[in-house]
Amino acid sequence: MVCKEGQTVYPGDVLTGMKSTKMVSIIGPGLQRNDDIPNSVIATKVGTIGFKSPNIYWVESNEKRYSPKRGDFVVGIVIKKAGDMLKVDIGTSEHASLSMMSFEGATKKQKVDVNVGDAVFARVHNACKEMEPELTCVDAFFKAGKLGLLSNEGFLFNTSVKMAQKLLNIEYPLLWTLGKKYPFEIAVGLNGKIWLRCNRTLDTFKIQQAIQIAERQTNKAIQETCRKIR
């Protein structure tokens, strides 16, 4: 079948006709390359086709359990510390591992001060069915950028994987509409975990409520709801 935005797909569906740039199409969660048929992909989960111009496709679904993929940015909570290794809860069936050496500037003698209960913003370095996910808090140049420990002053809550994907879409209106009314910092993980820090506790709860409500609203309704928030 032809791959179209908003189209419902099921695991095993073969999709063709994707838009490309310089003969390249980028596929995200829910899709994988089909080696049997040229220029096609296979859906790996139930959902609707998402598309971002000019050539990015993925499957949006209402699944609550996150399936890690290499390169995903996630928010997690440190639940165990043993030697140079941390165990991090990112909402998967297996806890992820994070080396103390995977922080910018970390050495054997000088390590980052990480404790159980701390929140981290990390990237999935390795993910396969046979092994626990492996995280890192540096990029290919060993720089942290926005990755690393998140402040304990922030508030951590969960949303659906589909909502997290929406929030990370630059064209989705919710966050920039809220940003006109409230100053805040936010880290959104593709695993559905969100870290949020505002100047006032009341603002934190208002933004959290707006995110929960927006999951069932259209883009136009979202902007109207945000205007009504006091």
pLDDT in tens, 165-203: 889 888 888 998 899 889 999 999 999 999 999 999 999
What average pLDDT is seen over the chain? 86
- Where does a domain end: 150, 166, 201? 150
Range 62-83 average pLDDT: 86
Q: How many domains does the chain have?
A: 3
Last residue in a domain, options 129, 150, 171: 150
Please check the confidence at residue 225 and state whether its pLDDT lies above 80.
no
User: CATH number for the domain including 166?
Assistant: 3.30.1370.10
Tell me the per-residue pLDDT of 105-135, one tens digit each, with 9 for 90 and over. 877 888 888 999 999 999 999 888 778 899 9
Residues 160 and 171: their CA atoms lie apart, in Å, by 19
Distance, first Cα to last Cα, the chain: 47
Output the domain CATH number for residue 25: 2.40.50
Check: CB of residue 138 under 8 Å from CB of residue 103: yes
Domain residues for the domain of 13 are 8-60
> Of the residues 132, 150, 168, which one is the last residue of a structural domain?
150
Are the CB atoms for 14 and 40 separated by under 8 Å?
yes
Q: What is the DSSP letter of 218?
A: -
Q: Containing H/E element for 15?
A: strand 14-16
**Do 121 and 160 belong to one domain?**
no
Could you tell me if residue 143 is inside a domain? yes
Residues 103 and 171 in one domain: no
Q: Which position has the higher pLDDT, 28 or 79?
A: 79
Give the pLDDT of residue 205.
Answer: 92
Residue 66 belongs to some domain of the structure: no
Return the top range by mean pLDDT from 32-46, 72-86, 105-119, 140-154.
72-86
Q: Which pLDDT band, with edges at 50, 70 and 90, does 230 fall under?
A: low
**More confident site: 23 or 77:** 77
Q: Would you place residue 223 in the very low, low, confident or very high pLDDT band (cuts 50, 70, 90)?
A: confident
Q: Over range 19-26, report the average pLDDT.
A: 79
Q: Is 164 in the same domain as 215?
A: yes
DSSP-assigned states of every residue in 92-107: SSS-EEEEGGGSTT--
Q: What percent of the chain has pLDDT over 90?
A: 34
CATH code for position 141 = 2.40.50.140
Mark whether 116 and 180 lie in a shared domain: no
